[in-house]
Amino acid sequence: MDFHCHLDLYPDAKRVYVEALRRTEFIWAVTTSPRAFAATSKVFPAAQGLYISPGLHPEVADKKASELELLLSQLESCAGVGEIGLDGSTQYKYQFELQILVFRSVVQRCVELGGRVLNIHSRAAAREILDILEANPGFGSAVMHWFTDSPTQLRRAVELGCWFSVGPAMISSANGQKLSALMPRERVVSESDGPFAKVHGTPVMPWEADTVAAKLAQTWDMPAEDASKVLRSNGLSLARLLGMGTLRSPNAKA
């Protein structure tokens, strides 16, 4: 299962789409802008085990802010939204106030609609993300994608009921392993973050998201098979929040 994947941005994306559906039980294909969501939804035919969500990535907030109203309208018919969030790193700090405006608007719209599942980017901005979520009870459920902030902010996220998506690239770092050990096991799911996330210089593919189980097994002090079962059980629960019905095991015949 892959709960954070930029399926539309792989080179030869249509081939990856076909292969991913064959080899992966579930894929959450996040998008970076409302128009990208509309285009991706047309390019990739609807399929069991594939969820495509509208988003507005904080790294492109200055270029895509004019699409905010479109995103808010798209939310009316979507159970999940992402990729959204804040990026407080030096490269994007110049547009941080605009990012906050966009993110807060999305969260408030989720409250108005009765709650949504949010797929959240929080690099160098977890405190501000959690402040906004805490100020808007009823937003739904949050999935913190590739969380790299402090243990203090992690504890805040846990208390808020957040989920966490962990991928092979994240778990390959010492900080990723340390933070993964502090996450509640029942709220951890796998992700690829492909094609941006790379291991040994190669983009992580959607069907490689589950390989994170081996490292998590070491962190959780359990057999790799048991860690895989935990991730799948968690994934099925989160997929249900997105309105996904019974999922078909990869490689099974339609």
Q: What CATH number does residue 56 fall under?
A: 3.20.20.140
Alpha helices in the chain, H assignment, sequence order: 13-23, 34-43, 61-64, 68-74, 96-112, 126-134, 151-159, 168-171, 174-182, 212-220, 224-241
Residue 39 lies in a domain: yes
CB 8 within 8 A of CB 29: yes
Across residues 87-101, what is the average pLDDT? 98
Q: In the beta sheet, which residues pair with residue 50?
A: 27
In this prediction the pTM is: 0.96
Residue 69 confidence (pLDDT) above 70? yes
Q: What is the mean pLDDT of residues 117-121?
A: 98
| pLDDT surpassing 80 at residue 252 | no
Average pLDDT over residues 90-97: 97
pLDDT: which is higher, 28 or 246 = 28
pLDDT value at residue 251: 53
Q: State the pLDDT confidence band at 245, using cuts at 50, 70 and 90.
A: confident
Give pLDDT, residue 191.
Answer: 98
13, part of any domain: yes
Q: Is residue 252 part of a domain?
A: no
DSSP sequence for 123-183: TT-HHHHHHHHHTSTT-EEEEEET--S-HHHHHHHHHTT-EEEE-HHHHTSHHHHHHHHHS
Are 30 and 119 in contact, with CB atoms under 8 Å apart?
Answer: yes
pLDDT at residue 247, as a whole number: 75
Query: How distant, in Å, are the alpha carbons of 52, 127, 164, 166, 211 from that of 148?
Result: 25, 12, 11, 10, 19
Domain of 134? 2-241
164-173, pLDDT tens digit by residue? 999 999 999 9
Residue 8 lies in a domain: yes
- Is pLDDT of 254 > 80? no
Question: Within a domain: residue 166?
Answer: yes
Query: What is the pLDDT, as a whole number, of residue 84?
Result: 98
In a domain, 254, yes or no: no
Asked whether residue 75 is assigned to any structural domain, the reply reads yes
Tell me, yes or no, whether 226 lies in a domain. Answer: yes
In this prediction, residues 57-70 reach a mean pLDDT of 98
Does residue 248 have a pLDDT over 80?
Answer: no
The number of folded domains in the chain is 1
Q: What is the mean pLDDT of the chain?
A: 96
Residue 250 pLDDT > 80, yes or no? Answer: no
Amino acid found at 142: A
